[in-house]
Amino acid sequence: MNKTFLLIYITAFFLTPSYGVAETPTASCPTSKDFATLAAPSMADRFWIASRIYASVTARFAHWSSLDPSYDFDEHYQDYLKSLSTISTRLDFDKKTAKLFASLHNTHTSFKDQLVHCYPGLPFRVGFIEGKWIVTRSWTKSVPVGVEISAINHDVFSTWADQQVAFISDSSLRDQRQDLTSMKYGVWLWPRKFTLTFHFPGKKDVSVDVDRNLSDSSEKNPPIKGRYVAVKGVSVSQIAPGIERITVSDFSHPENEKKMVQAVRDHQDVPALLFDVRGNGGGSAPNDLIQSLLEKPTKDEIGMSPQHIAVNDAYSDVALSDVLSYSHTWFRFGGDVIKPKTLYHGKVFVLTDDGCASACEDFLMIMKSSKRAVIMGEESAGGYGLRSDVFFPKQNMRFSVGVINVLWPDGTEAEGKGIMPDISIPLTQEELLAGKDDVLEKAVKYINTVMKKEHHGQ
């Protein structure tokens, strides 16, 4: 959303004291031996953090309408408070706090302990595919891509995994599962040492010992093989005659969008553009890119954020004393007309997956609502909006609260509901086992079919 009111509103959040404090930990990372026994924050610090959580969530959280009507934050928070007096380790505190945030089911609302993220990474990634837990990427030959994980430490893996997702803040169960091995959300939940058992259809199961202290996920480098990972930044290539593929790893850096707009400008005469945004976790909404592709005025998405007026809240509390309602008035913005600055009049296709989130979904939403592009691939993440951060530098902790609820241009609720593709091309276990990017191949095949029909006037 490229709106003056939104700019003012966002600026107000990030200029507020305690929101711009550096996130860098003030203490060195503990050794693996020390970590499990690190003491919990002092009693005063626990309840100081807890009080900030309650104040921030009740005042700023913008996604109450996405939750089940029976959800009661007060009830969850009271249980959380009761647990704080009995915990003894830092990891206990982290899990109790993470579980409280995860109960809000919002990608932009989460808790993070910087020291927990000192944990060594995992040398593989997993995904919940076709009803099974499948290795999707690997940095080590001992964990093969495409195989099903049936057990961890000889316990049923699916049971263990479902217990862990209760600590992962995401907008849907699907995304919680997909983030089980992500560095940002789930990697800290895994043991330091563990045994994985792999199930090979028609063959004997195989067990492998994993020691995270001896391995490195090496996320800065591409995995040995596995699910598609975009090269950092923007790349442009001819994927087939008449089809130019533009990939972008994220919208976090303004330079990425500038390069994409330039790529559109440089290929105005190409019959079809394919924007590959798989795994794009977002950043800032790519408004210039959107305008360069639109051919007609289109309504923008709508944003809503809670605001509080004391007298209004007071009377609302009296009138609605039996109803959970923290946000009685709302600041609504967006929904204006986006005027195109068209650089391209050919066919536009977008290839996406469940890794496309936030600003990436802003792009998808306008491309889909305007009918400017054909969306292919998988349902996107369903995590929209903006967060505000509260830092605790002395404790090396922080939490975030989702402060903007994004609606479709027609006012339909978006949070927790990924953008559905027009052409479904799901990732499969068979594709991972074969070590090929079948999703891209199928997308290109579909584009060629469309272009041939258009060429023959069908």
pLDDT score, position 157: 98
pLDDT score, position 26: 46
* Tens digits of pLDDT across the chain (458 residues): 544 334 433 333 333 333 333 334 445 676 655 667 889 999 999 999 999 999 999 999 999 999 999 999 999 999 999 999 999 999 999 999 999 999 999 999 999 998 877 767 888 999 999 999 999 999 888 899 999 999 999 999 999 999 999 999 999 999 999 999 987 788 889 998 999 999 987 889 999 999 887 655 444 555 567 788 888 899 999 999 999 999 999 999 999 999 999 999 999 999 999 999 999 999 999 999 999 999 999 999 999 999 887 777 776 665 554 444 444 688 999 999 999 999 999 999 999 999 999 899 999 999 999 999 999 999 999 988 889 999 999 999 999 999 999 999 999 999 989 999 999 999 999 999 998 899 999 999 999 999 988 876 65
pLDDT score, position 200: 85
pLDDT score, position 23: 38
pLDDT score, position 20: 31
Look up residue 355 and give its two tokens: 């890794």
Structural domains in the chain, CATH included, are: 28-109 (no CATH), 124-221 (2.30.42.10), 234-317+324-430+437-455 (3.90.226.10)
pLDDT score, position 139: 86
Q: Of 113, 108, 102, 106, nearest to 46 (Cα)?
A: 113
Q: Taking each helix axis as running N to C, give the angle between helix 43-60 and helix 73-84, from 0 to 180 degrees, rounded to the nearest 10.
A: 170
Distance CA 103, CA 122 (A): 25
Is the distance from CB of 387 to CB of 23 less than 8 angstroms? no
> In 19-34, which positions are buried (b, 16+ CB within 10 angstroms) versus exposed (e)?
eeeeeebeeebbeeee
